[in-house]
Chain A
Amino acid sequence: MATTNDRFLLGTRKGLFDVRRQGGAWALGEPRLPGQTIAFAVRDPRSSSVWASLDHGHWGAKLARSDDDGATFEKTAPPTYPEHTGASAKYYWVIEPGPADRPGHVWIGTDPGGLFRSEDGGATWSLDEALWALRKEHAWQGGGRGEAGIHSICFDPRDARHAYVGISCAGVLETKDDGASWSYVNKGLVNVFDPGSTTDYGHDPHCVVIAPSKPDVLWQANHCGVFKSADGAATWQNLTQKPWIDFGFTVAVHPTNHDRAWLVPLKSDEVRTTVDGRLAVARTDDGGATWDLFREGFPSPAYDFPFRHALDVGADGDTLALATTSGNLYVSEDGGVTWATVSTSLPPVYSVRFA
Chain B
Amino acid sequence: MLTVRLTPHLKRFFPVPDEVQVDATTLPEMVQRLDDLWPGLGFYVVDERGALRENVAIWVDGARLLDRSRFGEPVRDGAVVHVMQALSGG
The distance from the CB of B90 to the nearest CB of chain A, in whole angstroms, is 14
Say which size band chain A's interface belongs to.
10 to 19
Against A, the Cβ 8 Å flags (1 = close, 0 = not) of B39-78 are: 0100111011101010110000000000000000000000
Cβ B85 vs Cβ A59 within 8 A: yes
The distance from the CB of B6 to the nearest CB of chain A, in whole angstroms, is 12
Contacts of B88 in A (CB 8 A): 57-58
Tell whether A7 is near chain B: CB-to-CB under 8 Å. no
Given A58-B56, A75-B13, do A88 and B86 touch, yes or no (CB 8 Å)? no
Against B, the Cβ 8 Å flags (1 = close, 0 = not) of A63-76 are: 00000000000010
Contacts of A241 in B (CB 8 A): none
Cβ B51 vs Cβ A88 within 8 A: yes
How many contacts A-B (CB < 8 Å)? 39
User: Which of chain B's residues has its CB closest to A60's CB?
Assistant: B53
Contacts of A62 in B (CB 8 A): 43
Cβ B49 vs Cβ A60 within 8 A: no
Given A58-B9, A59-B13, do A89 and B48 touch, yes or no (CB 8 Å)? yes
Cβ A75 vs Cβ B40 within 8 A: yes
Cβ A59 vs Cβ B48 within 8 A: no
Q: Considering the chains assembled together, what is the distance between the CA atoms of A35 and B40 in angstroms?
A: 20
Which of A60, A75, A88, A89 gathers most chain B CB within 10 Å?
Answer: A60
Against A, the Cβ 8 Å flags (1 = close, 0 = not) of B6-50 are: 000110110000000000000000000000000010011101110
Cβ A60 vs Cβ B47 within 8 A: yes
Contacts of A58 in B (CB 8 A): 9, 53, 55-56, 85-86, 88
